[in-house]
Structure 1
Amino acid sequence: MVKIEQEENGKKGRFVIYENEQFAGEMTYTWTDDTKIKIDHTGIGDAFGGKGYGKQLVMKAVEFAREKGIKIVPVCPFVKATFERDENIRDVRG
């Protein structure tokens, strides 16, 4: 079973993905102001590569942005590439 949790600590936060309760990866972000988050890193453990977990983390961040009415500034190369490939999520790109 795969689950994604969100953690925030002040201006910083992350989305964490677990497979069968085991840490599989994370995507970290920083609030730039009240209207934007800057995603600066996505990392998936070697044992979990190739399962689409990075994309799932991006989609969770997109869902979060839409719920909050905020924008995402993609600094992480993986997130940038995902935004370039998927025009359906560009509405939240900042």
Structure 2
Amino acid sequence: MSQPRETVTVTDVPGEQRYEARLGDTLAGFAQYIRTSELIAFVHTEVDPAFEGRGIGGALVRESLDAARAAGASVLAVCPFYSGWIARHPEYRDLLYTQQSKVSD
């Protein structure tokens, strides 16, 4: 009989400028960001090797992008893990930041 899959809890920790993924009380991974009022740039994602292959990275990306959507923020996927994940999940591509000229002649 297989063991039930552990629940990943993802929380925003603004003081650390990162989202943290935990299994119980154990920090399993994090996604570092830089935030402005309209933009969140995800710059680095790290998952503890002991927790790789358990959906930690995907949970971090999904939860943080859902929070960005809820806040009405655009996303700049500087981190290769984020950009690759978004490329495989087109339902999140609308969050990507695109520079548009705000100056009109």
Taking structure 2 as the reference length, the TM-score comes to 0.81
- Partner Cα separation in structure 1 for residue 8 and residue 25 of structure 2: 8
Residue 71 of structure 2 aligns with which residue?
68
- Partner Cα separation in structure 1 for residue 12 and residue 87 of structure 2: 24
Shift of 1:62: 1.0
Residue 23 of structure 2 aligns with which residue?
19
Residue 41 of structure 2 aligns with which residue?
38
CA deviations on 1:30-51 (whole Å, 9 max, x unpaired) are: 01x3210110000000100001
The reply on whether 1:4 has 2:20 as its aligned counterpart is no
- Partner Cα separation in structure 1 for residue 26 and residue 11 of structure 2: 12
CA deviations on 1:18-75 (whole Å, 9 max, x unpaired) are: 11211101001001x3210110000000100001110110011111111110111000
How many residue pairs match? The answer is 91
Identity %: 27
Runs of 4 or more off by more than 2 Å in structure 1? none
- Structure 2 gaps of 5+ residues are 1-6, 98-105
The reply on whether 1:93 has 2:96 as its aligned counterpart is yes
CA contact (8 A) 2:9 2:23 kept: yes
Residue 29 of structure 1 aligns with which residue?
33
- Partner Cα separation in structure 1 for residue 24 and residue 67 of structure 2: 23
Taking structure 1 as the reference length, the TM-score comes to 0.90
The reply on whether 1:51 has 2:54 as its aligned counterpart is yes
